[in-house]
A and B are shown apart, each in its own frame.
Chain A
Amino acid sequence: EPEVTQTPSHQVTQMGQEVILRCVPISNHLYFYWYRQILGQKVEFLVSFYNNEISEKSEIFDDQFSVERPDGSNFTLKIRSTKLEDSAMYFCASSVVLRREGANEQFFGPGTRLTVL
């Protein structure tokens, strides 16, 4: 069964450093998302991406964040200058477009645990 993959599984970085989290969505999917979950808290939406541009973004997704689809398979989240409060689990998700009537489910990856020291 196809699945969303994410690398690395765990990233440790120093405050102020740039990090890039990588995701490989399911191959025929066209909507891509990033969510994050701070330890013990709710899953929070960050950004959605479709047709090579951002569709929606939350208040969390400020100028420190950016997303890119550098090639036909990868989808990345970059945090330019990490802060302590960026420590969280980051989940990538993807969904297919108009596969059937109604709303197509999102498939989530296993997540990248980011620890900012």
Chain B
Amino acid sequence: DAKTTQPPSMDCAEGRAANLPCNHSTISGNEYVYWYRQIHSQGPQYIIHGLKNNETNEMASLIITEDRKSSTLILPHATLRDTAVYYCIVRVAIGGSQGNLIFGKGTKLSVKP
């Protein structure tokens, strides 16, 4: 079973920041936090991952609390194309691989004009 808890749905206005929370209170010290998204019925798409420090890439920022029990994915300027189901996944890295990803139900983000 997924080790994360996410709200089932969120709305965001186009052009505004979307902040998606995730609780992972049982995370172990060697487990990473990964974020993927799935647009309609397409294959999941990697967004970002982190271990302890906050991370930023061209798609998003990941803020991990100091105790690592929760994190927030930030899409700084949401567009209609960001409407998707967002998955927060916690897993150990194995030999440089993320291993088998355990997907929960995720958060359905609806970006509205």
Q: Please report the C-alpha to C-alpha distance between residue A35 and residue B51 in the assembled complex, in whole angstroms.
A: 24
Q: Known interface pairs A97-B95, A103-B91. Does A110 touch B103 (Cβ–Cβ under 8 Å)?
A: no
User: How extensive is the interface on chain B, given as a class?
Assistant: 20 to 34
Q: How far is the CA of A108 from the CA of B96 in the complex (A)?
A: 17
Interface string of B9-25 (1 = CB under 8 A from A): 00000000000000000
Chain A: CB-nearest residue to B48? A105
Indicate if the CB atoms of A91 and B44 lie closer than 8 Å: yes
Question: Given A42-B103, A42-B104, A43-B103, A104 and B98 touching (CB < 8 A)?
Answer: yes
Option from A33, A89, A98, A102 in Cβ contact (under 8 Å) with B51: A102
A75 on interface, CB distance cutoff 8 Å: no
The answer to whether A73 has its CB under 8 Å from any CB of chain B is no
Q: How many angstroms between the C-alpha atoms of A58 and B51 in the bound complex? A: 25
Is A25 among interface residues, defined by CB-CB distance under 8 A?
no
B80 located at the interface, meaning its Cβ lies under 8 Å from any Cβ of chain A in the complex:
no
Question: B-facing mask of A104-117, CB < 8 A → 1, else 0?
Answer: 11111111000000
Residues in chain B near residue A95, CB distance under 8 A? 97-98
With beta carbons under 8 angstroms apart, the residue of A48, A99, A110 that contacts B42 is A110
Please state if A111 and B98 are interface contacts (CB–CB under 8 Å). no
Cβ contact within 8 Å between A107 and B46: yes
Task: For chain B, residues 88 to 113, give those with C-beta under 8 angstroms from any C-beta of chain A.
Answer: 91, 93, 95-105
- Tell me, yes or no, whether A68 is within 8 Å of chain B by CB: no
Contacting residue for A103 out of B42, B44, B93, B105, CB 8 A = B93
B-side residues, CB < 8 A to A, are 32, 34, 38, 41-46, 49, 51, 87, 91, 93, 95-105
Closest 9 pairs between A and B when the two form their complex, measured CB to CB = A108-B43, A103-B93, A105-B46, A98-B96, A45-B100, A43-B103, A103-B98, A31-B97, A91-B43
A-B contact pairs, 18 of them (CB 8 A): A31-B97, A33-B100, A35-B103, A42-B103, A42-B104, A43-B103, A45-B101, A48-B97, A48-B99, A97-B95, A97-B97, A102-B96, A103-B49, A105-B49, A106-B46, A110-B43, A111-B41, A111-B42
Q: Taking A98-B96, A106-B101 as given, write out 5 further A-B residue pairs in contact, using a Cβ cutoff of 8 Å, ordered by the A residue number.
A: A45-B102, A45-B103, A48-B97, A102-B49, A104-B96
